[in-house]
Amino acid sequence: MSTYYPDGWVIVQVKDIFKVFASWSGGYTQPDSWKLNSGIKLVEELPNYYKITGYSESVYFLNKGSENRLNVYGHSVLSNMINDLEKKNIQMKVIPIENVLEILNDS
Protein backbone atom coordinates (compact mmCIF):
# COMPACT_ATOMS: atom_id res chain seq x y z
CA MET A 1 0.00 0.00 0.00
CA SER A 2 1.30 3.44 -0.94
CA THR A 3 0.34 6.80 0.54
CA TYR A 4 0.30 10.03 -1.48
CA TYR A 5 0.01 13.73 -0.59
CA PRO A 6 -0.42 15.57 -3.92
CA ASP A 7 0.13 19.29 -4.37
CA GLY A 8 -2.95 19.54 -6.59
CA TRP A 9 -5.74 17.21 -7.60
CA VAL A 10 -9.04 16.71 -9.41
CA ILE A 11 -11.57 13.91 -9.53
CA VAL A 12 -12.27 12.47 -12.96
CA GLN A 13 -15.07 10.20 -14.04
CA VAL A 14 -14.62 7.54 -16.72
CA LYS A 15 -17.90 5.71 -17.34
CA ASP A 16 -19.10 4.90 -13.80
CA ILE A 17 -15.66 4.93 -12.17
CA PHE A 18 -14.29 7.89 -10.21
CA LYS A 19 -10.53 8.39 -10.05
CA VAL A 20 -8.06 10.80 -8.47
CA PHE A 21 -5.78 12.63 -10.89
CA ALA A 22 -2.99 14.12 -8.80
CA SER A 23 0.00 16.33 -9.58
CA TRP A 24 3.18 17.25 -7.75
CA SER A 25 5.47 20.15 -8.45
CA GLY A 26 9.10 19.17 -8.79
CA GLY A 27 12.10 21.10 -7.70
CA TYR A 28 15.78 21.32 -8.33
CA THR A 29 16.35 17.56 -8.28
CA GLN A 30 12.96 16.23 -9.40
CA PRO A 31 10.64 16.99 -12.31
CA ASP A 32 6.90 17.68 -12.00
CA SER A 33 4.88 14.47 -11.84
CA TRP A 34 1.36 13.12 -11.93
CA LYS A 35 -0.58 9.99 -11.02
CA LEU A 36 -4.02 8.56 -11.80
CA ASN A 37 -5.31 6.22 -9.14
CA SER A 38 -6.99 2.87 -9.75
CA GLY A 39 -10.44 4.13 -8.83
CA ILE A 40 -12.08 5.45 -5.68
CA LYS A 41 -13.24 2.73 -3.31
CA LEU A 42 -13.73 4.81 -0.16
CA VAL A 43 -13.78 8.52 0.78
CA GLU A 44 -13.32 9.69 4.35
CA GLU A 45 -13.77 13.40 5.05
CA LEU A 46 -11.32 14.77 7.58
CA PRO A 47 -11.13 18.41 8.80
CA ASN A 48 -8.58 19.55 6.16
CA TYR A 49 -8.30 16.52 3.87
CA TYR A 50 -10.22 13.88 2.01
CA LYS A 51 -8.71 10.46 2.62
CA ILE A 52 -9.25 8.45 -0.56
CA THR A 53 -8.66 4.72 -0.65
CA GLY A 54 -8.34 3.24 -4.11
CA TYR A 55 -9.08 -0.21 -5.48
CA SER A 56 -5.35 -0.98 -5.28
CA GLU A 57 -5.45 0.02 -1.57
CA SER A 58 -3.28 3.10 -2.20
CA VAL A 59 -4.30 6.06 -0.05
CA TYR A 60 -4.41 9.68 -1.20
CA PHE A 61 -4.67 12.51 1.31
CA LEU A 62 -6.21 15.34 -0.71
CA ASN A 63 -5.92 18.81 0.81
CA LYS A 64 -9.36 20.43 0.56
CA GLY A 65 -7.78 23.69 -0.62
CA SER A 66 -5.91 22.02 -3.49
CA GLU A 67 -8.82 20.80 -5.62
CA ASN A 68 -8.48 22.02 -9.23
CA ARG A 69 -4.93 23.26 -8.56
CA LEU A 70 -2.97 21.13 -10.96
CA ASN A 71 0.43 22.40 -12.00
CA VAL A 72 0.95 23.26 -15.69
CA TYR A 73 2.44 19.86 -16.45
CA GLY A 74 -0.40 17.98 -14.70
CA HIS A 75 -3.02 20.08 -16.46
CA SER A 76 -1.37 19.37 -19.82
CA VAL A 77 -1.22 15.61 -19.17
CA LEU A 78 -4.86 15.53 -18.09
CA SER A 79 -6.00 17.53 -21.14
CA ASN A 80 -4.10 15.18 -23.45
CA MET A 81 -5.56 12.16 -21.68
CA ILE A 82 -9.11 13.50 -22.04
CA ASN A 83 -8.54 14.27 -25.74
CA ASP A 84 -6.99 10.85 -26.44
CA LEU A 85 -9.89 9.04 -24.79
CA GLU A 86 -12.41 11.21 -26.63
CA LYS A 87 -10.91 10.00 -29.93
CA LYS A 88 -11.78 6.46 -28.76
CA ASN A 89 -15.35 7.54 -27.86
CA ILE A 90 -14.61 7.30 -24.14
CA GLN A 91 -15.64 10.28 -22.07
CA MET A 92 -13.48 11.40 -19.18
CA LYS A 93 -14.66 14.45 -17.30
CA VAL A 94 -13.55 16.41 -14.26
CA ILE A 95 -16.19 16.55 -11.53
CA PRO A 96 -16.28 18.24 -8.12
CA ILE A 97 -15.57 16.06 -5.08
CA GLU A 98 -18.96 17.10 -3.67
CA ASN A 99 -20.67 15.28 -6.56
CA VAL A 100 -18.68 12.13 -5.80
CA LEU A 101 -19.61 12.33 -2.11
CA GLU A 102 -23.32 12.67 -3.00
CA ILE A 103 -23.19 9.74 -5.43
CA LEU A 104 -21.27 7.47 -3.05
CA ASN A 105 -23.55 8.37 -0.13
CA ASP A 106 -26.64 7.53 -2.21
CA SER A 107 -25.25 4.09 -3.10
- What is the model's pTM? 0.93
Mean per-residue pLDDT of the chain: 95
Which pLDDT score is estimated for 105? 72
Q: By the 8 A CB rule, do 77 and 34 touch?
A: yes
In a domain, 106, yes or no: no
Kindly report the CA angle at 32 between 5 and 52, in degrees rounded to 5? 25
Mean pLDDT to the nearest integer, 46-67: 97
Which pLDDT tens digit goes with each residue over 32-44? 999 999 999 999 9
In a domain, 89, yes or no: yes
**Phi, psi for residue 100 in degrees, rounded to 5:** -65, -45
Give the number of domains in the chain.
1
In a domain, 107, yes or no: no
> CA 7 to CA 14: how far, in whole Å?
23
Range of the domain at 7: 3-101
In a domain, 30, yes or no: yes
